[in-house]
Structure 1
């Protein structure tokens, strides 16, 4: 049993993470960042929940680049094959649920 105060979590580098759980190959990790990630496609599905801060999520749909603003409480679901990249606006804390070892 563990209680995690997500707003208190920081990391020594952008996208640093606290591993929370691994349930049958599906990982749940809390990330802290103040820098963009990189364009990528996960090995499987991904759930990206903003817990604190604001994140602009860029993604490609029908080969067109689009974006949406995610505020605390918002969730982005990337289905298999969804190319995307997260750009925080300042500091952000994000809960990511995905297949173990995914990008």
Structure 2
């Protein structure tokens, strides 16, 4: 049993994470960042939940770049093959649920 106060979580580097759970190869991790990630495609599906802050999520649909502003409480679902990159606006805390070992 553990209680995690996401609003106070920080990491020593951008996209540093706290591993919360691994359930049959699906990981749940809390990330802290103040820097953009990199364009990538996950090995499987990804659920990306903004717990604190704002994140500009860029993604490609049919090869066309799109974007959406994700605010606290918003969820981005990346299906298999969705190329995407997250750019936080200042500090952000993000819960990511994905296949173990995914980018």
Do Structure 1 and Structure 2 share a fold, with TM-score over 0.5? yes
Unaligned 5+ segments in structure 2 are: none
C-alpha distance in structure 2 between counterparts of 1:63 and 1:18, whole Å? 33
- State how 1:68-87 maps to structure 2 within 5 Å: 68-87=68-87
User: Which whole-Å deviations, capped at 9, do the CAs of 1:32-65 have from their partners, x for residues lacking one?
Assistant: 0000000000000000000000000000001000
TM-score normalised by structure 2 residue count: 1.00
- 1:7 is paired with a residue of what secondary structure? helix
TM-score by length of 1: 1.00
Partner of 2:32: 32
Match of 2:5 in 1: 5
- Say which SS state the counterpart of residue 51 (structure 2) adopts: strand
Superposition misfits of 4+ residues, deviation over 2 angstroms: none
Structure 1 unaligned blocks of 5 or more: none
Say which SS state the counterpart of residue 69 (structure 1) adopts. Answer: strand
The root-mean-square deviation of aligned C-alpha atoms, in Å, is 0.2
In the alignment of these two chains, the number of paired residues is 103
